[in-house]
Amino acid sequence: MAHIRHDPTSTQKGNITYNSGIVSGIVALAITQVDGVSLLNAKNKGIKLSFEKQGIIADISVKVESSYNVPSLAFTIQQSIKHNVESMTKYKVDKVDVHIQDVNFSDSPVTY
């Protein structure tokens, strides 16, 4: 087993680069941590990322449960994405646009 030690006095410098797929995975993880929300579809994941000079711009499409407050969910999604991306990578999140594309209603019949 290899042991790596960090020497704070070391003058070695280098770059860390992240594949956009890794950042997309972090965003998907952040969304799954929010109760009442799921990604729109598994194929394209409903996640579009743009890496800009001021930070990442995320365009997210999700499906929500009908029993949840939509504005509150959208805010929670934004905060979760910002926290996860910024704590796991070197990137800053500039903007998160949340698009509610579908609502999942319970199986119980609706009475009018």
pLDDT of residue 5: 54
pLDDT of residue 43: 61
Per-residue pLDDT tens digits of the chain, which is 112 residues long: 444 455 566 666 777 777 788 999 999 999 999 999 988 765 657 899 999 999 999 999 999 999 999 999 999 999 999 999 999 998 999 999 999 999 988 765 555 5
pLDDT of residue 2: 46
pLDDT of residue 71: 94
- Whole-model pTM: value is 0.78
- Do residues 28 and 48 touch, judged by C-beta distance below 8 A? no
pLDDT of residue 11: 67
Domain 20-104 belongs to what topology? Alpha-Beta Plaits (3.30.70)
R_g over Cα of the chain: 18
- Do residues 73 and 101 touch, judged by C-beta distance below 8 A? no
pLDDT of residue 44: 57
Nearest alpha-carbon partner for 85 in 21, 23, 31: 23
Angstrom distances, CA of residue 86 to CA of 17, 67, 111: 14, 30, 45
pLDDT of residue 4: 46
pLDDT of residue 54: 94
